[in-house]
Structure 1
Amino acid sequence: MNRLLIVIFLIICIPSFAQVKPWMLGPFERDKNAQPIISPMDLTSWKDPMSERTVFWESMATFNPAAIVKDGKIHVLYRAEEKLGEKEIGGHASRLGLAISEDGKTYHRLPKPVFFPDHDNQKEFEWTGGTEDPRIVQTSDGRYVLTYTQWNREYPRLAVATSKDLKNWQKHGPIFKDFKNGKYHNQETKSGAILTELKEGKLVAAKLHGKYWMYFGVPHIWLASSDDLIHWDPVETIDGNLAPVLSPRPGFFDSWLIEAGPPPLLTEDGIVVLYNAGNQQHIGVKTLGNRLYAAGQALFSKEEPWKLLDRTDEPFLKPELPFEKSGQYVDGTTFVEGLVYYEGTWYLYYGTADSMVGVVTWKP
């Protein structure tokens, strides 16, 4: 069957995958009876270092997951928030929990968070808002590198931490604090997705031209490079500003904002970046909800990682099921953030309405 017939077959037989381009990842599909794989629960309590009280740390929301394969199992790091009663809005602290799966279907959750604001050298950046929205990659020597948002209720800052076991972490602080005397230190930065490649069946951090690369940011996506995965230099314009490499588009599903998704993948066609996109109905897509989050894909040059080659005009994943349209974010969210290759299948993990975790799969 030639490529044209394959494309026609996919369009006819897989209507949920509305647009097919040869460089895209997927099609990703939900299980027949898809349900969230991680949901809030009231059974797990833990003594919080900030408040010095016992909190039910994942009782209100469990969402926005990162994922990595370790010891032959899928490990999902997810953001969690506790119920606060009458003071729900704006008062939450976020921590990261860990769920482990041996088959991609059932997930065993650890009873305590594995990453959280503590009495450490990052207190000024993480108290009292917390640690949010992780992405994770592995290096060729087995080290795990976590990017996440530090929230001190003043500035959201993109930060990095490293670990050898996913439970004991060394925090290295805000990613851009040393760049040009802290030029971007007190500016909103978040959503850091480090470039990866598939080597011997395992996703690892990739280098291009001797450097690591990271797509980051919202409402545009920007680009940064690093020699060590700890210290990062953003790509700037000739005027000394952050150079956007992907921006919102009036008239499309990504008309409001865009935000980097899971770690991008280096392929034969180029760099495939999965991204999250917000819609605004009056200048976006009328059939999608206002401020609804869906997911798109973009292709960048592997010779010039800032050079956009192509992007999707329609989302490849959008809120459709009840659990994707209910929760903190009532407009609906399929917020992609974790991608792993496990036993011949790609697993894409996403947050639903800032409340739960879902997964879609693609078996090439």
Structure 2
Amino acid sequence: MKNILFVASSLFLISCSGQKKEIVINQIPDWVLGGFERPEGVNPIIKPDTNSVFLDPMAGKMLKWEESDAFNPGSVVKDDTLFVLYRAEDNTATGIGLRTSRLGLASSIDGINFERYTEPVLFPADDNQKEYEWPGGVEDPRVAVTEDGTFVVFYTQWNRKVPRLGVATSKDLRKWEKHGPIFENSSYKPLMEMSHKSASILTTIRDGNLVITKVNGKYWMYWGEHGVKGATSDNLVDWEPVLDENGELKKFIEVRPGFFDSALTECGPPAVLTDKGILLLYNGKNENNKDLADQRFTLGTYSAGQVLFDKNDPTKVIQRLDTPFLRPMEDFEKSGQYVDGTVFIQGLSYYKSKWFLYYGCADSQVAVAVFDPKNPTNFDPLPNTK
């Protein structure tokens, strides 16, 4: 591919006061996905619902399961319908990570307007996953589909002790079979007692559909939040992490002091195999320490980045963006549980010849941004630092 440098340009606008205002515009390399545009007047597309109730197995009574927050969605297409699988929290406690999370389901025929199911489709139940999912629940789904129509969701099992990646499969998105922690049978034994989350399985477009694919004969995923790691599988259920020459977890990219991802590099929606390479969209958190942060952005804020890996060697980085392509700019992205600002990307679908990106807003609501390859737009502008 061409050797493209990531550069920025400036546009001057005249404000109402007659003064010049500088807006720094991101220029887009040819390997990235986007820019994505927020449809006008539609976001947030999913909000908390105080009317939805179900019989909760933990409490043994009817519970308003999505009363407090609805956020961090995965997405997938089934037939001619786009589905969003989103994380919802009840209102049984106060504070991030202290309520119970369950996964709700919503459907759309345009990718923007959704109808929601009244009960959660995946939740902490009286099953063989209690030790991993009670009382914190199930969080942050990333969902994809195989060519034969099997839906696979990777999610965080949260027992309020150790967060672990779990996997479940379904044929209809409503009834799910839980298979437990993805690293439970791994040869790297320490991982089961280590915090691990955020799995982005490899997909590709085939016959107009985004489906799970293999690289070098195996299923592949990126995962993690403190540096991007990898894992392989033969069956989509049991995964082996990629290790370095010392037999420890190998990191392909790390956090970068002075950049938007100075605190976290948390994997986003399913990765996409393209003719340029493997494209991973990820969530970057800016440091709370101003000496380590990118001071152009609010301290602690979550923005979205992209990195390109070699399609034959998915551990090898080809290029990485130095600035985010999507960042908290709208009021709904900066109000809720996480007031510093969050666009937390988890769902990516190719639908009706467009790319739909679904993300959590301030750990409280769900929004969508759309990339139309026939009508590309700019990345979110960078802040004026002068």
Give the structure-2-normalised TM-score. Answer: 0.89
Matched, 1:67 2:75: yes
Q: In structure 2, what is the Cα distance between the partners aligned to 1:268 and 1:327? A: 39
- Give the match's secondary structure for 1:133: strand
Q: CA deviation at 1:218?
A: 1.2
- Give the match's secondary structure for 1:251: coil
- For residues 33-182 of structure 1, the aligned pairs below 5 Å read 33-84=41-92, 87-88=94-95, 90-180=97-187, 182=189
Matched AA of 1:136: V
**Comparing both chains, which one has the higher relative contact order based on Cα–Cα distances under 8 Å and sequence gaps of 6 or more?**
2
Contact 1:139 1:204 in 2 (8 A): yes
Q: In structure 2, what is the Cα distance between the partners aligned to 1:171 and 1:321? A: 36
Q: CA deviation at 1:107?
A: 0.4
Q: CA deviation at 1:9?
A: 12
Contact 2:9 2:27 in 1 (8 A): no
Partner of 2:232: 225
Q: CA deviation at 1:11?
A: 8.0
Q: In structure 2, what is the Cα distance between the partners aligned to 1:179 and 1:250? A: 32
Q: In structure 1, what is the Cα distance between the partners aligned to 2:128 and 2:309? A: 37
Q: In structure 2, what is the Cα distance between the partners aligned to 1:106 and 1:269? A: 33
Q: Deviations over 1:261-296 (max 9, x none)?
A: 000100010001000000023222112111100000
Q: CA deviation at 1:91?
A: 2.8
**Structure 1 11/232 Cα, relative in aligned 2: closer, same or farther at 3 Å?**
farther
The structure 2 residue matched to 1:299, chosen from 299, 305, 308, is 308
Contact 1:19 1:314 in 2 (8 A): no
Partner of 1:342: 351
**Structure 1 10/163 Cα, relative in aligned 2: closer, same or farther at 3 Å?**
farther
- Give the match's secondary structure for 1:112: coil
Q: In structure 2, what is the Cα distance between the partners aligned to 1:333 and 1:310? A: 24
Q: In structure 1, what is the Cα distance between the partners aligned to 2:245 and 2:262? A: 26
**Structure 1 88/254 Cα, relative in aligned 2: closer, same or farther at 3 Å?**
closer
Matched AA of 1:133: D
- For residues 211-250 of structure 1, the aligned pairs below 5 Å read 211-250=218-257
Q: CA deviation at 1:344?
A: 1.0
Contact 1:64 1:354 in 2 (8 A): yes
Q: CA deviation at 1:113?
A: 0.3
Q: CA deviation at 1:10?
A: 9.8
Q: CA deviation at 1:182?
A: 3.0
Matched AA of 1:167: R
- Give the match's secondary structure for 2:298: coil
Contact 1:62 1:356 in 2 (8 A): yes
Cα RMSD after superposing both structures: 2.0
Matched AA of 2:361: T
Q: Deviations over 1:141-194 (max 9, x none)?
A: 110111000001111001111110111111111011111263311111100110
Q: In structure 1, what is the Cα distance between the partners aligned to 2:179 and 2:89? A: 23
Q: In structure 2, what is the Cα distance between the partners aligned to 1:327 and 1:144? A: 31
Contact 2:252 2:317 in 1 (8 A): yes
Which runs of no fewer than 5 residues in structure 1 stay unpaired? none
Q: CA deviation at 1:55?
A: 1.2
Contact 1:19 1:316 in 2 (8 A): no
Q: In structure 2, what is the Cα distance between the partners aligned to 1:239 and 1:190? A: 23
Partner of 1:259: 266
* Runs of 4+ deviating beyond 3 Å: 7-13, 87-90
The structure 1 residue matched to 2:338, chosen from 294, 311, 329, is 329
Q: In structure 2, what is the Cα distance between the partners aligned to 1:19 and 1:173? A: 43
Partner of 2:213: 206
Share of identical aligned residues, percent? 48
Matched AA of 2:91: K
- Give the match's secondary structure for 1:294: strand
Q: CA deviation at 1:217?
A: 0.5
Q: In structure 2, what is the Cα distance between the partners aligned to 1:200 and 1:33? A: 32
Partner of 2:369: 360
Q: In structure 2, what is the Cα distance between the partners aligned to 1:90 and 1:173? A: 21
- For residues 249-288 of structure 1, the aligned pairs below 5 Å read 249-280=256-287, 281-288=290-297
Q: Deviations over 1:41-76 (max 9, x none)?
A: 111111110111211111110000000001211100
**Structure 1 28/89 Cα, relative in aligned 2: closer, same or farther at 3 Å?**
closer
**Structure 1 319/145 Cα, relative in aligned 2: closer, same or farther at 3 Å?**
same
**Structure 1 219/284 Cα, relative in aligned 2: closer, same or farther at 3 Å?**
same
Contact 1:215 1:223 in 2 (8 A): yes
Matched AA of 1:290: L
Q: In structure 2, what is the Cα distance between the partners aligned to 1:31 and 1:81? A: 26
Give the structure-1-normalised TM-score. Answer: 0.94
Contact 2:66 2:90 in 1 (8 A): yes
